[in-house]
Amino acid sequence: MNHPQNDLDVLVVGAGLSGIGAAYRLMTECPDKSIAVLEARDAIGGTWDLFRYPGVRSDSDMYTLGYPFHPWKEAKAIADGSSILAYIEETARKFGIDRVVRLRHRIVSASWSSAEARWTLDVEVGEACERTRFTCRFLYLCSGYYSYEAGHTPEFAGKDRFRGKVVHPQFWPEDLDYRGKRVVVIGSGATAVTLVPALSERAAHVTMLQRSPSYITSLPAKDPVADVLRAALPEKVAHGLARGKNVLLGLGLYQFCRRFPNAAKKVLQKRVASYLPKDYPVGAHFSPKYAPWDQRLCLVPDGDLFTSLRSGQADVVTDAIETFTEKGVRLCSGRELEADIIVTATGLRILPCGGIRFEVDGRSVEPADTVVYKGLMLSGVPNLAWCVGYTNASWTLRADLSSRYVCRLLNHMDRRGVRLCVPRVDATLDGREPLLGLSSGYVLRAASALPKQGKKAPWYLRQNYLLDFATMRLGRVDDDAMLFARSPDARWRAALAPPAEGAAAPNEPIAAAAAAS
């Protein structure tokens, strides 16, 4: 059943890092709007409450990953997961955001009515999953883009034969005792390079088993420039300068890697070699086949992974798995790695728009059939935004821009006295491409399910904070691609028309790469 308090101006989905930030922006920039934050789990924090594996930490500095309105105060710029969770919880309490969060509310479906200018959401509440309904005039999805229910684990031959324990980092057992045990971590991404040094502190030995290498670089866990700024300047000024400095450095590194990939590869490999013994086979284990930033760059604070390798507590093996055995893993080379515990750090499972089933005026809508507008709204889907962060920088940089843009949009609609807004694709859209421009396995596997992007503004997801700032904070809200209306008319119905058959199909190379991964 539906209750009066369940009818709101804006519903935010997800009480993680982005959802709490979105609620703050709505409460301060749209103070007359009634809002609620629906969180499917029983606690706020999102990723930082879910992931509990050893060593879990940010892979971006906290001056850019943290909120610009609530400066990060801890000494470490690369922070551990529990500190980030405490920061999110503190932010929610300090600004009264916790009062609008409703836990154990999982949205099953969302149906839009143009006649009523409202979304109707079917929601499961509590452990018993009792059904109730919410309505709202604007729906803002801040639930990220991966599934909390399952990670990605390939089908390994012989897995049932292994006599030890197999663990996925997304569901780390609280009682797992790895002291004095032999551990094999399968993977080479951010999770694997975090787990290996953390596990090696107690395990007998840890092996990072990778099918192919990733680019890895090291940064100081503490930001010495930020420390100087914080000691000399007021808190907000120091935070703003440290944030700006890190934005520019990150953007500069990314542009260098993309424009000069061969030079960037040499610099990254030379930096890795400087942390390891002279005879270490850097080329074999830290020389990826792809160009820098074709996949996300892995960050290790203070070179902790390399410290573990130098000490002999950990090693890296680059090979493919033939089969699990009773004692461990047999590789295609014939070598067998014995293990007591195998950790499958094999990636995430992308879930667009929180897995919610959508209808627009009685017609089912798949995210894959839409095109992103300014990286956050979906063509043909009214009064809805989806918060997606950067893949080449801190998630929060773009998430906060998105939230402030949503506030600008809502205030613009109020000033004009309109109830409806929708991005509309026309014949000038030049092709459709995958949303996330990475060759990582988890991205390729989901390419066909994600919204698409065009080749020019406003129909793509930029990976450039400075350009996004100019567009989303200073640019026009009422551009030619956005249709506003007081009530549905012929133009409105045309904007909501389904796309041409096959228009959003992924291109063949992407589809083939996804199948191979």
Residues 314-359: tens digit of each pLDDT: 999 999 999 999 999 999 999 999 999 999 999 888 888 889 999 9
Please state, in angstroms and rounded to a whole number, the distance separating the CA atoms of residues 406 and 315. Answer: 47
> Among residues 192, 206, 224, which one has the least CA distance to residue 340?
206
Pairing of strands 384-386, 130-141: parallel
Give, in order, the Cα–Cα distances in Å from 417 to each of 82, 116, 117, 382. Answer: 45, 15, 13, 16
Structure tokens at 14: 């997800």
| Cα separation values, 191 from 54, 188, 298, 337, 404, Å | 10, 8, 9, 20, 31
Domain final position from 289, 315, 344: 344
pLDDT value at residue 325: 97
Whether 175 and 221 map to the same domain: the answer is: yes
Asked if 328 and 370 sit in the same domain, the reply is no
**Is 187 within a domain?**
yes
My answer on whether 98 and 191 are in the same domain is: no
Report the distance separating Cα 187 and Cα 185, nearest Å: 6
Taking the C-alpha atoms of residue 351 and residue 373, their distance in angstroms, rounded to an integer, is 19
Q: Which helix (H) or strand (E) holds 245?
A: helix 235-259
Clarify whether residues 55 and 190 are in a common domain. no
- Dihedral sign computed on CA atoms, order 490, 356, 394, 504: negative
Asked which of 321, 344, 367 is the last residue of a domain, the reply is: 344
Domain match, 164 and 121 both:
no
Same domain, 187 and 210: yes
Question: Which residues span the domain enclosing 371?
Answer: 2-149+349-516
If one counts every other C-beta atom within 10 angstroms of the C-beta of residue 32, the result is 8
- pLDDT tier at 510, thresholds 50, 70, 90: very low
Claim to verify: residue 337 and residue 364 sit in the same structural domain = no
Domain end, chosen from 344, 365, 381, is at: 344
Strand partners, 300: 218
* 12 falls within a domain: yes
Averaged pLDDT for residues 83-107 = 97
The verdict on 374 and 269 lying in the same domain is no
Two tokens at 61?
């500095």
Same domain, 200 and 301: yes
Look at residues 197, 194, 247, 253 and name the one whose alpha carbon lies nearest to residue 59. Answer: 194
The domain total for the chain is 2
Q: What percent of the chain has pLDDT over 70?
A: 95
Q: Which two tokens stand for residue 216?
A: 């890895």
Determine the pLDDT at residue 428: 64
Residue 429: inside a domain, yes or no? yes
DSSP letter (8 states) at residue 350: B
Q: Are residues 357 and 455 in the same domain?
A: yes
Q: Is 187 left (phi over 0), alpha (psi -120 to 50) or beta?
A: left
Residue 164 domain flag:
yes
3-state secondary structure of 372: strand
In a domain, 416, yes or no: yes
Alpha-carbon distance of 350 to 434, in angstroms, equals 13
Domain membership flag for residue 154:
no
Query: Distance of alpha carbon 238 from its chain centroid, rounded?
Result: 27
Q: Assign residue 297 the CATH number of its domain.
A: 3.50.50.60
Cα distance between residue 423 and residue 421, in whole Å: 7
Q: What is d(CA 328, CA 337) in angstroms, rounded to the nearest whole number?
A: 6
What residues does 133 pair with on adjacent strands?
Answer: 2, 122
User: Tokens 């920039």 identify what position?
Assistant: 29
CA distances from 302 to 61, 75, 78, 183, 307 (A): 13, 14, 10, 23, 9
Pairing state of beta strands 328-331 and 336-338?
A: antiparallel
> Of the ranges 48-57, 395-404, 451-460, 483-492, which one carries the lowest mean pLDDT score?
451-460
Q: Is residue 447 part of a domain?
A: yes
Closest CA to 144 of 321, 356, 1, 381: 356
pTM of this prediction? 0.92
User: b/e map of 95-105 (b: 16 or more CB within 10 Å)?
Assistant: bebbebbbbbb
pLDDT in tens, 397-408: 999 999 999 999
DSSP run (H or E) holding 299: strand 298-301
Q: Which residue has the higher pLDDT, 445 or 374?
A: 374
Q: Take residue 344 and report the two structure tokens written for it.
A: 């499958």
173 domain residue, yes or no: yes
pLDDT for 53 beyond 60: yes
Q: Is the pLDDT of residue 443 over 80?
A: no
Neighbours of 146 (CB within 10 A): 19
27 and 109 fall within a common domain: yes
Half-sphere exposure of 229 (CA within 13 A, CB side): 20
Confidence tier at 501 by pLDDT (50, 70, 90): very low
Q: Are residues 299 and 448 in the same domain?
A: no
